[in-house]
Structure 1
Amino acid sequence: MAKAPLCLVADIGGTNTRVALSDGTVVREDSVRKYRNAEHDGLESVIRSYLAEEGVERVDGVCACAAGPVKDGVATLTNLDWTIDIETLRRATGARFSALLNDLQAPGHALGHIAHERLIPVIDGPRQSGASMLVVNVGTGFNAAPVHESEYGRVVPASECGHINMPVRDEADLRLARFVEKAHGFPGVEDVMSGRGVERLHAFVTSEAGAPVTWTTSQIIPAIDSGTDALATETARIFCRLLGTETGNLALIHLPFGGIYLVGGIARAFARHYGPCGFAEAFRDKGRFAEFMEQFSVVVLDDDFAPLTGCAVHLAHLMR
């Protein structure tokens, strides 16, 4: 049996970059390293540091996914002042094969290569084999991408839907939109459904209560988990309802009868709160289409390294 090619895969987020080695479609779990972006001036610096630490001179292929739009082989990160291109990847690694993906395309390619125990049910429902799927990322930012199977292989179109208008269902949502607009200039989905979105929601809730405070996400999540802070609990309720509403909107747009997958650190942090905080009810709140919404299943993909796996799978397909 031919030896699988040695490749380098990278997941570039707004705060950290994860790098690993892969043998074909399989990521070497013991090779995963995380680097703080603030400590480097670009991806090339991160990759060169990684290869030196691993004692690897060159690899056969390299694939990176970036939290921002990718066009013509160039990625511009939304929440980080880095610009990444294919030439940077080749120069840093000496690889013959290279690819650059949006951060949602990578988990889309990973679907079907993630262990079943890593899938946490949110809404039970049928998953039709071979049908379109949907990946929704909630982390430092927000994004979503459909996943289509074709005769030429899997297709995961890029998207930047985190920057469309946030959903407004009632008067409270309208007050929230105006609150966000005052601070940010535009009430987008990412402004209320992301790491910083949790902070804005909590600021809104405490302002509405007449006791405004400024907390970070790392303070808010433990307060939500403890269940002892009423305003943190209200923040969780609004977050889960908005996320359910927006995920339902995306389901109607893309019809992912193959399943909907929530990914990202914030999506995982709220996993046990979706049920009690009304995610499913908001997801299905589509008037006469409420019954239609029962055709979709939703799970949390509890695998922090899914983007790396997706990069490895996509690169293996290209190299074939």
Structure 2
Amino acid sequence: MAGTRLLVGDIGGTHGRFALARADLRPERIGVEEGDAHPDFESALAAYLGKYDVKADTAAFAVAGPVTAGETARVTNRRNWAFDVESLKRRFGLSRVIVMNDFVAQAAALPHLTVDEIAPIGPAPRQIGGMKVAVGPGTGLGVAALAPEGPGWRPLPGEGGHVELAAVTGREWAAFELIRAELGRVEAEAVISGPGLLRLHRALAQLDGREAKEADAAAIVLAARRGETRALETVGLFLDMLARFCGDLALTYAAEGGVYVCGGVAPKMLDLIDPDAFRAAFEAKAPHEALMRRMATTVVVSPVAGLLGCAAQARRLLAGE
């Protein structure tokens, strides 16, 4: 990657974040383009390049959606934002364009995070080596793993946010029936995401014969922070489900390197996470409780993890050419 001016982008359902990657992978000249402000991805990219007068010969974009053969992609929660490698090359004069799933980038960032970019949940020690998992509630729910490979790492993409989510308590079953009537199925993303938090809150209110007054996830979190009972129940149940889902992923991947909670939601709820309750839900995987106790759970609080991981994965791919 020596001599390459690498443009990176972390593209989600709400906005796109762009930057230039330095030689140490750290992003600079960071700019954000809101999704609602642009009819398509190329317009958003053109706006960023114009504002920051950025020149690059290579680009890598981490996209919140499935990537087809590394050549095309579409943001799952913003369907008009599509990515076509050849079109991007032609319009922006790029010699190389790499497109990856956004949680491939989140996973690729994990070995490069500093201690002030993470916040441990509970006492389990962080392991430098071993399989790691990145999971992140945001506009959707991203999942990817990171496997050791020689002296480096290989991200393993997936769409784990769309697996079926299991209810455990009677209260959860009743709420899930309402959500299932609305959506047809209760995938993990339907509840463990920003929109999912609101959906869960409304379902719980409906069970009690009331109407939820909060209009979005941020309002629910603020209400919980004020100690309001209904918001506290929603947030507590949300975090319990997140912990159980993290535990399922830890078992699926034998994630001895730990599970990292990424995305835009968890850092904003950090003060509401009870480490003991979170770890109890995470570890309740009989007969493997002892194994679970060795696996760390950590919140990624870095706002640039996606850009950092995008640069790391791009460097890995370019070095292999």
- TM-score tier by shorter-chain length is over 0.9
Question: Deviation digits for residues 14-66 of structure 1, max 9, x if unmatched?
Answer: 0111111112343344x11111111112111111121122223x412100011
Q: Which residue of 2 aligns with 1:275?
A: 274
Structure 2 matches for 1:88-167, cutoff 5 A? 88-151=87-150, 153-167=152-166
Query: Which residue of 2 is the match for residue 32 of structure 1?
Result: 30
TM superposition shift of 1:152? 7.8
Map 1:12-51 to 2 at 5 A: 12-29=11-28, 31-51=29-49
Letter in 1 for 2:42: E
Task: State yes or no: 1:71 paired with 2:62.
Answer: no
Provide the aligned length of Structure 1 versus Structure 2: 316
Match of 1:225 in 2: 225
2:57 matches 1:60: yes
* C-alpha spacing 1:276/1:250, structure 2 compared with 1 (3 Å): closer
- The alpha-carbon distance between structure 1 residues 90 and 153, as it changes in their structure 2 partners (threshold 3 A), is farther
Query: In the alignment, which residue of structure 2 is the partner of 1:238?
Result: 237
Question: Greater shift after overlay, 91-100 or 70-79?
Answer: 91-100
Matched residue SS, 2:284: coil
Change (3 A) 1:273 1:55: same
Say which SS state the counterpart of residue 256 (structure 2) adopts. coil
In 1, Cα distance between the equivalents of 2:252 and 2:183? 27
- 1:226 deviates by 1.9
Q: Which residue of 1 aligns with 2:292?
A: 293
Q: CA RMSD in A?
A: 1.8
Per-residue deviation, 1:96: 1.9
4+ residue stretches of structure 1 with deviation over 6 A? none
SS in 2 for 1:293: helix
Percent identity over the alignment is: 29
Q: Indicate the residue corresponding to 2:303 in structure 1.
A: 304
Deviation per residue, 1:208-235 (Å, 9 max, x gap): 22212252112111111222x1000000
Q: Secondary structure at the match of 2:212?
A: coil
CA shift for structure 1 position 144: 1.1
SS at match of 2:145: strand
TM-score, with length taken from structure 2: 0.93
Cα displacement (A) at 1:267: 1.5
Deviation at 1:177, TM superposition (A): 1.5
Pick closer, same or farther for the CA change 1:25–1:312 going to 2, 3 Å: farther
| Partner Cα distance (1:164, 1:291) in 2 | 26
Given residue 37 of structure 1, which amino acid in structure 2 is its aligned partner? G
Q: Report the residue type matching 2:266 in the other structure.
A: A
The answer (yes or no) to whether the contact 2:111–2:128 under 8 Å persists in 1 is: no
Q: TM-score, normalised by structure 1?
A: 0.93
Q: Distance in 2 between matches of 1:3 and 1:208?
A: 59
SS at match of 1:300: strand
| Paired residue secondary structure (2:164) | coil
Quote the Cα distance in structure 2 between the aligned partners of 1:226 and 1:88.
49
Give the gaps of 5 or more residues in structure 2: none
Mean Cα displacement is larger for which, 41-50 or 62-71? 41-50
Q: Distance in 1 between matches of 2:290 and 2:307?
A: 36
